Amino acid sequence: MNPIIEFQNYSFKYRSQQEPTLRDINLKIYPGEKVLIVGPSGSGKSTLASCLNGLVPFSYPGENSGTLTVGGKDPAKTGIFGMSKTVGTVLQDTDGQFIGMTVAEDVAFALENDCVPQDQMFDLVDQVAQVVDIKNLLHHVPTELSGGQKQRVSMAGVMVDDVDILLFDEPLANLDPATGKRAIDLIDRIQKEKKKTVVIIEHRLEDVLYRDVDRIIVVGEGRIVADETPDKLLSTNVLAEQGIREPLYITALKHAGCVIDEKSHPSHIESMDLQPYKESLKTWFENVALPEKKKETEAALEILNLDFSYVTGNPVLSGIHFRINRGEMLSIVGKNGAGKSTLSGLICGFNNPDRGQILLRGEDIGSKSIKERGEIIGLVMQNPNQMISKPMIFDEVALGLRVRGVPEEEVKERVFETLKICGLYPFRNWPVSALSFGQKKRVTIASILVMNPEVLILDEPTAGQDYHHYTEIMEFLKELNEKQGITILMITHDMHLMLEYTDRAIVIADGKLIADDTPARVLTDEATADRAYLKKTSLYDLAVRCGIEDASGLTERFIHYERQVRSRG
Amino acid sequence: MARLLTYAEKDTWIHRLSGVTKMIFFLLWSIVGMITYDTRVLVVMLLISLVVFKISKTEWKQVGTVFLFILFFLVFNLVVIFLFSPYEGEKIYGQRTDLFHLFGNYYVTKEQLFYELNIMLKYFTVIPVVLMFMVTTNPSEFAASLNRIGISYNVGYSIAIALRYVPDVQADFTKIRHAQEARGIEMSKKASLFNRLKSMAAIIFPLIFSSMDRIDVVSNAMELRGFGKNKKRTWYAGRPLKRNDYFVLIFVVVFCAAALIITFLDGSRFYNPFS
Amino acid sequence: MKKSFGIKEVVAIGIGTALFIVLTNVQVPFPVVPNTSLQSRVAILTFFSAIYGPVVGAAIGLIGHALGDALFYGSIWWSWVIPEAVFAIGVGILSKKYGIKEGNFTAKKIVMFNVVQVIFNVLAWVVAAPVLDILIYAEPAKKVFAQGALSVIGNILVAGILGTLLCAAYSKLSVKSSSLSKEA
Using the Cβ of C176 and the Cβ atoms of chain A, whether some distance falls under 8 Å is answered with yes
pLDDT tens digit at each of 569 positions of chain A: 899 999 999 999 998 788 899 999 999 999 999 999 999 888 889 899 999 999 999 988 999 999 999 999 999 999 999 999 999 999 988 888 999 999 999 999 999 999 999 999 999 999 999 999 999 999 999 988 988 999 999 999 999 988 999 999 999 988 888 899 999 999 999 999 999 999 999 988 999 999 999 999 999 999 999 999 999 999 999 999 998 999 999 999 999 999 999 999 999 999 999 999 999 999 999 998 887 777 777 899 999 999 999 888 888 999 999 999 999 999 999 887 778 889 999 999 999 999 999 999 889 998 998 988 998 999 998 888 889 988 889 999 999 999 888 999 999 999 999 999 888 998 888 888 888 777 888 899 999 999 999 999 999 888 777 788 888 889 989 999 998 889 999 998 888 899 889 989 999 998 999 999 999 999 888 889 888 888 888 999 999 999 999 999 999 999 999 888 887 76
Best of A112, A161, A346, A415 to mutate (most B CBs within 10 Å, chain B): A112
pLDDT in tens, B174-226: 999 999 988 888 766 667 777 788 888 889 999 998 899 899 999 999 999 99
CB distance C22–B214 less than 8 Å?
Answer: no
Of A59, A345, A385, the CB nearest to B223: A59
Q: Under a CB-based contact definition with an 8 Å cutoff, are residues A266 and A272 in contact?
A: yes
CATH number of the domain residue C80 falls in: 1.10.1760.20
Nearest chain C residue (CA) to A396: C169
* Any domain includes C165: yes
* Neighbouring chains to C with at least 3 Cβ pairs closer than 8 Å: A, B
**At A259, which amino acid appears?**
V
Q: Which residues contact A151 (CB under 8 A, 6 or more apart)?
A: A90, A94, A171, A175, A183
CA distance C108 to A305: 60
List the helix and strand counts (H, then E) for chain C: 8, 2
Chain C residues with CB under 8 Å of A16 CB are 176
* Any domain includes C182: no
In this structure, the number of other CB atoms found within 10 A of the CB of residue A10 comes to 19
CB distance B163–C28 less than 8 Å?
Answer: no
The whole-model pTM stands at 0.91
Chain A residues with CB under 8 Å of C169 CB are 390-391
* Any domain includes C147: yes
Best of A101, A368, A435 to mutate (most B CBs within 10 Å, chain B): A101
* Any domain includes C82: yes
* Any domain includes C180: no
Chain A residues with CB under 8 Å of C170 CB are 391
Using the Cβ of C3 and the Cβ atoms of chain A, whether some distance falls under 8 Å is answered with no
Angle, CA A286 vertex, CA A284 and CA A290 arms, to 5°: 100
Measured CA to CA in angstroms, residue B96 lies from A134, A241, A524, B92, C4 at distances of 70, 94, 90, 10, 57
Q: What distance in Å separates residue C27's CA from the closest CA in chain B?
A: 9
Of C1, C8, C47, the CB nearest to B208: C47
Helix axes B19-35, B110-136, angle to 10 degrees: 170
Q: What distance in Å separates residue A476's CA from the closest CA in chain C?
A: 20
* Any domain includes C51: yes
Bond before B206 cis per omega within 30 degrees: no
C41: containing domain: 7-92+101-175
Mean pLDDT per segment of 10 residues, for chain C of length 184 residues? Answer: 72 97 83 71 96 96 92 84 96 92 89 96 95 89 90 92 92 69 70
Of A390, A428, A434, the CB nearest to C183: A428
Chain A residues with CB under 8 Å of C173 CB are 391, 431-433
Q: What distance in Å separates residue A52's CA from the closest CA in chain C?
A: 20
CA distance A328 to A503: 8
Percent helix, percent strand, percent coil in chain A, to nearest 5: 45, 20, 35
Q: What is the dihedral of CA A358, A362, A364, A370, to 10 degrees?
A: -70
* Any domain includes C47: yes
Number of structural domains, chain C? 1
* Long-range Cβ pairs for the range B84-91 (8 Å, 24+): B84/C140, B84/C142, B84/C143, B84/C146, B85/C140, B85/C141, B85/C142, B85/C143, B86/B112, B87/B112, B88/B112, B88/B115, B88/C140, B89/B113, B89/B114, B89/B115, B89/B116
* Any domain includes C118: yes
CA distance A137 to A140: 5
